[in-house]
Structure 1
Amino acid sequence: MRKIFCLWPDFVNLQPIYQRKGTRQFIVEIPYGHVENNVLFRSAFGQVEALKLKELSEEEITDAVSFFEAKFDKLKQKLDEIEDKINTQSNKGSFLSSLQNIEETISSHEGLGDYQSQLDRIAPLKALLGDYIQKNRAKNTDIKQALLLELEVVLTNNDQEEAFEQIKDLKSRWLKTGSPEQSTREELEGKFKAGVDSFYEKRNTFTADKQMLVNARMEEYQSIIAEIKSFIDKKAFQHTFEKVKELQKQWKDIGRIPEADFKAINDTYWKVTQEYFEKQKKHRNAERKQKSKGEKESLKAKTEILEELKVLVVSTFGSDHKAFEALKTKWKNSGHVSRKAHPEVHESFMQLSREWQERGFIWNLTQKKNKGFAKKETKDQYKDLLRVVRDLLQRDETELKSFHENMGNMHINKGSFVDMLNDKLQVQQDKVALKKSLLKECQEKIKQA
């Protein structure tokens, strides 16, 4: 047997290639996998065995690895999205099945990446959701027990029309309430269903009661049509779109009435809703044009505020907090200006705000370090400020130098991590530039005093 070596491009380590009787056999190590005898494998991890991904030639290795790394990244991104929703949304329990699906997928997922770290992320998230769901089910159990008590009272009501409305309300609240604890679920659902069924059985024994139900449903249909018509008559299109969509859902849920009656009222309903949506669309278009016109006025107002802020930042050295807050409020109330169309306006405001905060920090720090600072003459105040700025500048320059040295020792030339480092570097450079500018400003103020 003769041993030779081969260096594969970029991601592959130097590995021995064994040649025997004219047949080349090789093993190439790659991150989270390897190529053996022209077959790409995903590495084993935890209790999961190595997984065969693809048979390939030597020339296909680079493209194949990139392909399977991308598949892993897609799975990781999906987990990132679920984790973000768990952390930010209120209906956390609905994401448990998605989390479990990813966990079950990992053992057979065809990709290249750190799958173990993804499993390590999933475990605490499942525990969190399990606790959340358990607490919700305990709360839902209490709510449904209270609804059963209400149902008992409703069943004693001899006013069938009033009781019917109460039953509808109870059913709505019951359905909106989530699942109770598993041990009581069947009992609670059985009691509620039995109570509601007993009401309808009693009610359906009377012909008059049946007609009353038809009348009640007809009134609901008519009330929905009337409400949509009222929006049209009042030209109330701005905040009624979602309400109309909800009314459409209610229309579907009202229930059956005689076919002839339903056809007539349903034709009226569709004409009214079509008219509403057509006029609502025209209203939105007009609103967009008005918004575009208003944005020009807002841009002018914000530009004027920026000029005021520039003067305030320089003239008060960050000490007039009330004036700054007043300008912030004025900025918020000056109307909408698109960030995409006018990024420089928003960036100028942020830069001036950051400078204000930095100046305010220096002013307050100088007050703490120099007793009686507020009562000193302007020249003496700027002398104190000068010393503090000089110390802070020296500290920032030292940190900037260390940052440059650390980045120079890194061998990463792409990716979000490098972007983050560049952003931090820019922040540090801005801090040094501002301190130098403030140093000159203090020196000029001392000369002028």
Structure 2
Amino acid sequence: MSESTIKEYPEISEFGYIKDGKVYLKGYFEFKDRELGVVRESDEESMRYFVNRYEMVKKKLEDVKNSVVEAENKGSYLMKLIHMRTYLAQYNGLGDFIVLFNEINELEDEINAYIEKNREKNYEIKTALLEEANSLKGSTDWKNASNKFKELKLKWIKTGSAHKEVDDRLTDDFNNALDYFFQRRKSFFDEQTKIQNERFMRYRKLVYQIENINKAGSDPEKKQFVKNLQREWKNVGNLPIKKIKRLQITFKKELDKYFNSLKYSVSIRDKSAIEIKRDLLNGVSDMLKMDGSKVNINEIKQVQDNWKKLGKQTNHQEDKELNLRFRIVCNELFETYFLEKSTKYFHPDIYKRSLPDQARLRIVVLKESIKKDEQELEDFQKKHAFVLAQGMRSSSNMNIFQQRNNFVNKLKTKGRILEKLEQVIQS
């Protein structure tokens, strides 16, 4: 090796040398002298090559140091430093590797100090979270406590490890508090589900009992028993409205059916069938005087059932007239009921308006309905024009005349309702 080479690269004599055409790095720490490579072209070029490689790895370590300074999670660089040590021990470069190893040691010490500080901070955070979890685990405010536990769990996950000797114990205690609360909550709702199922079955049984009473006929001697069913219904207990609504509607319908049947059930020995029919007709006629929103469709159906039970009185001239009037009144009640439902659907605030305004809204809906019925009647008559024109009333086409009459009667009924509504506006 020439003297000029030593002068240009003074570090060569300190950190390495050339021997027998090969470049060597001097041993340091527990490492012995190590061959880096063979001399190519000249000693100077070979030395320059390995010195430059040292500068490259030195720059790489400097980049790691800068990354650690900027990093939020500095602890993640510990493994990188371990790999860096292994890398340096085998790296082919010429320079002061002791300085690089010392820089790694210092950096590792800084990171460990940072980790220790963070673990102390994490210990304080997790201790506070555990105390809050223990204070909540006995709560019966299921909704709010559940939401709070979810927040605590999220904070716990985001918090890093505490001191190794206590972190597992803190985690176990925290999870035990969560498990204790959610197991209690599960037991509570399981019991509530059981109670609700039992109540639901009791409600179903009551509906079944009143239905059987009505199927057997409205026995006045069952009146007290039915009243007992009413009382029992009130004492069963609460259920979510979605779960009980259908049963509630059915039960009320069956109660109305029973008591309406009793109301109109008069012994033939005390009154004739004609007298009973007069009473029933007067009852439904009075319903026409009521506000349309108060029409009880189930009550009307029950009255119709009672009327059918009386049958036709063929030996009485008044019976035919009563039957016709009864049918006309019932038809008007049904149409009034459906008109009310339709108008309320399109105008939910109808009852907040004045009576004339309410009548106007009903008229608009009714006229649209009449227009539709007139079109259906016209289409029907065109379709069956030949039969209707010929007046063929054989058993095979009697149904056609009946359907035509139904269309006509419906339009007449709606016409009567329209006249009454127009009178409301004029008055």
Bin for the TM-score computed over the shorter chain: 0.3 to 0.5
Structure with greater contact order relative to length (CA < 8 Å, sep ≥ 6): 2
Question: Greater Rg, structure 1 or structure 2?
Answer: 2
| Structure 1 length-normalised TM | 0.37
| Structure 2 length-normalised TM | 0.39
Higher helix share: 2
